[in-house]
Amino acid sequence: MNSPAASAFSLRIATAADVAIVLDFIRRLAEYEKLSHLVVASEELLREELFGPRAHVEVLLGFEDRQPVGFAVYFQNFSTFLGRKGIWLEDLFVLPEKRGHGYGKRMLFELGKIAFERGCGRFEWAVLDWNAPSIDFYKSLGAVPLDDWTIFRVTGDALDTLARKATEQD
């Protein structure tokens, strides 16, 4: 594994000035996952959601020699069983040409540190079933797959319908 000098890689929390970088990473991640057709995010939407008055999402950016090479999007969740908050990692992405340098590992270490310092009871994320390199990577760090859980999602028209049903009950 190539290992550049420690001083060449740095991490920092994104600011509103980084919205274009974040959107670029979102698009590159979607392309990698063959899901580009699902991206509707814009700089304006991200600025409001990530940095507006009701923002609850954070972005960690990774840089090699001041050039952005990766990002992690995460937010706080809560475990009722533990009675403690946690961190949910929504996305972690390192540019394909920059993989193998330990950048993703450094980003996960930093997120683990953030979770620990905030008193979180857990740090979780999902990974696509076909993404064997990522699954192997996460397992090598001690992450355990939760094979007995299934993620459900309601979006688009189904979310609109679900919301309408709430008003029908009133």
pLDDT in tens, 68-108: 999 999 999 999 999 999 999 999 999 999 999 999 999 99
% of the chain at pLDDT higher than 70: 95
Residues serving a catalytic function are 138
CATH architecture designation of domain 6-169 = 3-Layer(aba) Sandwich (3.40)
pLDDT in tens, 103-125: 999 999 999 999 999 999 999 99
Confidence band for 170, pLDDT divided at 50, 70 and 90: low
Residues 76, 52, 64: CA angle, nearest 5 degrees: 70
pLDDT at 105: 95
> CB neighbours of 150 closer than 8 A, spacing ≥ 6?
none
